[in-house]
Copies of this chain bind each other. A is one copy, B any other.
Amino acid sequence: MKVLDLTRVLAGPYATMLLGDLGAEVIKIEQPGTGDESRNFGPFKNGFSLYFMSVNRGKQSVTLNLKTERGQAIFKQLLKQTDVLVENFRPGTMKKLGLDYDSLKVEHPSLIYAACSGFGQTGPYAEQGAYDMIIQGIGGIISITGEPGGPPVRVGTSISDITAALFTTIGVLSALHHRNQTGSGQFVDVAMLDSLVAVLENAVVRYFATGEPPKPLGARHPAITPFEAFVSADGHVIIAIGNDTLWAKFCEHVDRQELIQISGSERTPIERRTIVNCFLFSRRSWRQRKTDDWIDALGAIGVPCGPINAMDKVVSHPQVQAREMITRVAHHITGEVEVPGVPIKLSETPGNVDAPAPSLGEHTDKVLTGLLGMHPDEVEQLRRHGVI
């Protein structure tokens, strides 16, 4: 499967990265001279963006100025050998170039054209640009993340970009299934805002059920208690006590048997604060035990618990290592660097990360002379004219 990739920054590149990890050949088209703007995003190693590296591994880079006639002609030649086109421009940009789906589908009826944008291709906000941070605010996830009454807190990863990338990938693969059966392509329209609304989960139904917008609850679960973090000698311990049997084991372990009879429904938010926090979590003796010791002890009696790992502990975690979720790619500028692995483990067609992100235009000559059969002199001429 061949993917023509017009994406930049995060949502689009993450989607084409996944398609590449799963075996597609991804040709990334970049503006000559500048390229994907995330090539300028830190952190850098030897001047190469590791941000860019982490979401563009395995892709080929071809520079092409789509605003020139010759650039458009080359683009259309590439399109003949393309199964999937992915772009994440602001809606309208591709139409201005004459390269929108309606224009392309006439000659390429089997093309799958995926557009990933902030607000989607339709609706009153369609043509507005969007950043993840703005979508996190509009889409409501900030309103349910953070300390009660505290300042607003964003989700620490660009969650609306990434969920949009995942839904775009699902859309492309779903369209591919349809094409395998009918031969027809189609248009896939995914918005960051829609994607965020789709992952709000029970916050939406809680609002409609109660008429009250759910509020942020720190590290606590909205419906189960205790399902939160408490302070240890050297950090925090998360406990997830999902039923009364676990609650009894936990109370026994911390020598508060008199609390066992307080049932799950009685450990509700209002009582919880007095009972659970004051009677349990405020005990000074708890803070004398280290996180790892708590986890060993609670784990031994079957109470679900865990640490709050910072990134150093995450990447060296034995399970993360065993699942090869941190992998390495070698690039001639950066040398070996670590990138996240592929979380989709397929027994017969396993995904893999087999090449670093490309330097700008690294594969222009190869693709133009190889895939399109151009003479090297012609490629040089295109370069002189700023087309590539």
CA distance A208 to B315 in the complex (A): 9
Q: Is A85 among interface residues, defined by CB-CB distance under 8 A?
A: no
Given A190-B345, A193-B320, A314-B138, A157-B325 contact (CB < 8 Å): no
Q: Contacts of A190 on B, CB cut-off 8 Å?
A: 343-345
Q: Contacts of A310 on B, CB cut-off 8 Å?
A: 140, 143, 213-215
Q: State the Cβ distance, A86 to closest chain B Cβ, in Å.
A: 14
Of the listed stretches A66-74, A251-259, A299-307, A379-387, chain B binds: A299-307
B178 contacts A219, C-beta separation under 8 Å: no
Most chain B CB neighbours (cut-off 10 Å) among A161, A188, A242, A320 = A320
A145 contacts B155, C-beta separation under 8 Å: yes
Of the listed stretches A26-34, A44-52, A269-277, A364-372, chain B binds: A44-52
Q: Which residue of B lies closest to A139 (CB)?
A: B314
CA distance A162 to B159 in the complex (A): 11
A323 contacts B173, C-beta separation under 8 Å: no
For A10, give its contact among B126, B173, B201, B216 (CB under 8 Å).
B201
Most chain B CB neighbours (cut-off 10 Å) among A18, A217, A315 = A315
Task: Give the residues from 291 to 325 in chain A that come closer than 8 angstroms, CB to CB, to chain B.
Answer: 304-315, 317-320, 322-323, 325
For A348, give its contact among B158, B184, B194, B322 (CB under 8 Å).
B184
Task: Give the residues from 146 to 160 in chain A that come closer than 8 angstroms, CB to CB, to chain B.
Answer: 146-147, 150-159
Task: Give the residues from 100 to 159 in chain A that come closer than 8 angstroms, CB to CB, to chain B.
Answer: 101, 119-126, 129-131, 133-147, 150-159
- Count of this chain's copies in the oligomeric assembly: 2
Given A122-B322, A142-B219, A346-B175, A200-B166 contact (CB < 8 Å): no
Q: Is A330 among interface residues, defined by CB-CB distance under 8 A?
A: no
Given A157-B141, A197-B314, A198-B340, A304-B134 contact (CB < 8 Å): yes
Q: State the Cβ distance, A266 to closest chain B Cβ, in Å.
A: 15
CA distance A176 to B181 in the complex (A): 12
CA distance A174 to B206 in the complex (A): 34
Q: State the Cβ distance, A44 to closest chain B Cβ, in Å.
A: 7
A54 contacts B153, C-beta separation under 8 Å: no
B174 contacts A346, C-beta separation under 8 Å: yes
Q: Contacts of A279 on B, CB cut-off 8 Å?
A: none
Given A10-B201, A311-B214, A42-B223 contact (CB < 8 Å): yes
Q: Contacts of A242 on B, CB cut-off 8 Å?
A: 131
Q: Is A333 among interface residues, defined by CB-CB distance under 8 A?
A: no
Q: Contacts of A150 on B, CB cut-off 8 Å?
A: 147, 150
5 A-B residue pairs with CB within 8 Å? A50-B206, A135-B306, A145-B155, A152-B219, A188-B345
With A154-B219, A214-B310 already in contact, 7 other A-B pairs whose C-beta atoms are closer than 8 Å: A124-B318, A171-B344, A187-B347, A188-B345, A191-B323, A197-B341, A200-B311
